[in-house]
């Protein structure tokens, strides 16, 4: 997916990172996942977020984690 799926805007949800075209913070998806819920459950509760956008956001997070991983 080449289009932007997340962004930050100081006028939207106090500048939190949200899914493009929504007011749904990215952190909400991670809260669901941390609680053991599925992406499908998250999308059921936030239908303005598409499955493709949720998966793309996870891919972005994974890439950022890889890019900033350090051996300890």
Q: Per-residue confidence of the chain (72 residues) as pLDDT tens digits? A: 457 999 999 999 999 999 999 999 999 999 999 999 999 999 999 999 999 999 999 999 888 877 776 655
Tally of CB atoms within 10 A around 71: 3
Number of residues in the chain: 72
Q: Is the dihedral of CA 12, 9, 24, 52 positive or negative?
A: positive
Beta strands in 1-72 (DSSP E): 6-8, 17-19
Note the pLDDT of residue 63.
87
- Number of domains making up the chain: 1
Confidence (pTM): 0.84
Residue 27, in any domain of the structure: yes
List CB contacts of 57: < 8 A, sequence separation 6 or more. 5, 6, 19, 26, 29
For residue 34, the enclosing domain spans 6-67
In a domain, 1, yes or no: no
Q: What is the CATH number of the domain that holds 62?
A: 1.10.10.10
């Amino acid at each position: 997916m080449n289009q932007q799926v997340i962004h930050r805007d100081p006028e939207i949800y106090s500048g939190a990172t949200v899914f493009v075209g929504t007011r749904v913070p990215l952190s909400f998806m991670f809260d669901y996942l941390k609680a053991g819920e599925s992406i499908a459950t998250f999308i059921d509760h936030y239908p303005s977020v598409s499955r493709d956008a949720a998966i793309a956001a996870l891919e972005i997070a994974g890439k950022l984690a890889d890019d900033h991983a350090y051996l300890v």
